[in-house]
Structure 1
Amino acid sequence: MKFLTKKRVVLFLLFIFPLICFLLLSLGENNFKKLPIVKANIIDVYEIDATKSTQLKENVTIVCFLGNDVNSNRSGLFNLNEKIYKKFIEYKQFQILAIYPNGKEKEVENLKQEIGAFTDMQKWVFMASSKEEIEIFYASFSYDKPLVDLASSNAFLIDKKVNLRGRLNDEDSKDGKLIGYNMNSVSVLNGKLKDDLKVLYYEYYAAFKERNENKADRKEVGL
């Protein structure tokens, strides 16, 4: 074809194609969808932590509830450790918080040793609290599935502003809401929780980038 001369192909590759790519990337950033907040301003665990050493604020946190039978969620915790924790341990301000009732310290210590056999436990946090305080904290999620003996097979994603995150159009949920991620399902952890964590971290990256660009713009105009 006469139209596709060598010169025109070179010009397209050098100038037109990069411009198209730039426009597509720009549109992608502008239309980026944030991970939905399914419950704003839940209780921070700092309020139910007797040691006052743990908090949700300014952290991206995966919360799980061990219950009175600590080993009932043992396999789920190992899944969480392998599929999520080890993938995000290098991410800033990331933690997994496992809450258990007072009096279960020995069982928890054994569990920690098992998980920690081949894992750097620096971002695993185990916190004891009373039955009443655990129930009050969980109730702040406004989740319609109650704890069973203070335990849940689900893990919950909390953002830096202490909002519960999840999905509002999940294809596998009857009402479209995905609030907790089933720790016993490798496909849920791999295909949903991991993806949602990446989306949340991209939110923070995009916000950080925008702030820096705004600062640069103000500096240029002398503000």
Structure 2
Amino acid sequence: MKKTFVLFVLFALPLLAYLFFASGVNKFAKLPTVTPDIKEIPAWKSLNGEEVKLKDKITILGFPGEAILYNKGNAFNLNQKIYNKNKDFKDFQMIMIAPLGTEDKAKQLLSELGRITDMAGWHFVFAKPEEIQKYYDGLELMGQLDDKYGTSNVYIIDKDLNLRGRKGQNLKGEDEYKEGYNTISAADLHNDMADDVKIILAEYRLALKKNNKRKI
């Protein structure tokens, strides 16, 4: 009994305290689900022939469209504000869905970002424009892809294929809705998205500690 109490103090309490203070930032006790049970990414072409999947990973999902290099500033913002701060979490990844024919642009982007960052957690997959549109429609969002099949927004997908964000009443009783995070805005990434990613990572860290505790 004493051992269990000590383990709780050492592991659970710090995580609960973190969740309490972090939730005070985004005003939700837990990051809400915007769209449940989204579809897994099909077996589309990837840059290195690797299998790219959402399941069992915390994913930042993006749709850069055909103008990958034109909008590379968005990728730089995302890389600096979100990826670099969380890349050491082993189940954290970035997945970008782009049209077939943009492979060389994606390679160039990764090469440029790779000069300052380990890009092992970045993945690109490629599909026909109509396939990308259909997949995006399945996310059931208010936003839309542009005429190049891209958007400046990125989305948080949890390990169980739920798209997470801000939906419903926050702790102040105010209605709030946020389905994606605008990579054009460094402030949006640095503030809202950084806070929300912290919340979801803390959720899984707490779950992992609980599972480990049961095994003792």
Question: Shift in Å at residue 210 of structure 1?
Answer: 2.2
Larger strand share, 1 or 2? 2
Q: Match for residue 154 of structure 1? A: 153
Measured at CA, do residues 183 and 30 of structure 1 come closer, stay the same or move farther in structure 2, by a change above 3 Å? closer
* DSSP 3-state at the match of 1:53: coil
Q: Match for residue 163 of structure 2? A: 164
Question: Shift in Å at residue 213 of structure 1?
Answer: 3.2
Measured at CA, do residues 88 and 151 of structure 1 come closer, stay the same or move farther in structure 2, by a change above 3 Å? same
Question: Shift in Å at residue 212 of structure 1?
Answer: 3.1
Measured at CA, do residues 147 and 127 of structure 1 come closer, stay the same or move farther in structure 2, by a change above 3 Å? same
Q: Which has the larger radius of gyration?
A: 1
Spell out, residue by residue over 1:162-193, the C-alpha distance to the aligned partner (whole angstroms, 9 max, x if none): 1101012589xx96210100001111111111
Q: Match for residue 196 of structure 2? A: 196
Unaligned runs of 5+ in 2: 1-12, 24-28
Unaligned runs of 5+ in 1: 1-23, 217-223
Question: Shift in Å at residue 112 of structure 1?
Answer: 1.7
Larger helix share, 1 or 2? 1
Distance 1:191 1:80 in 2: 12
Give the structure, 1 or 2, with the largest relative contact order (CA under 8 Å, sep 6 or more).
2
- Of 138, 141, 160, 2:139 maps to 141
Residue 56 of structure 1 contacts residue 160 of structure 1 at CA under 8 Å; is this kept in 2? yes
Aligned length: 190
* DSSP 3-state at the match of 2:34: strand
Q: Match for residue 44 of structure 2? A: 49
- Of 91, 94, 99, 1:93 maps to 91
Query: How does the TM-score come out when normalised to structure 2?
Result: 0.79
Distance 1:178 1:59 in 2: 21
* DSSP 3-state at the match of 2:178: coil
Question: Shift in Å at residue 30 of structure 1?
Answer: 9.5
Distance 1:170 1:125 in 2: 34
* DSSP 3-state at the match of 2:176: coil
* DSSP 3-state at the match of 1:44: coil
What pairs up with 1:109-128 in 2 under 5 angstroms? 109-128=107-126
Q: Which amino acid in the other structure matches residue 65 of structure 2?
A: G
Q: Match for residue 38 of structure 1? A: 34
Question: Shift in Å at residue 136 of structure 1?
Answer: 1.7
Percentage identity across paired residues of the two chains? 35
Query: How does the TM-score come out when normalised to structure 1?
Result: 0.77
Measured at CA, do residues 27 and 113 of structure 1 come closer, stay the same or move farther in structure 2, by a change above 3 Å? closer
Distance 1:30 1:103 in 2: 43
Distance 1:188 1:114 in 2: 23
Q: Which amino acid in the other structure matches residue 114 of structure 1?
A: E
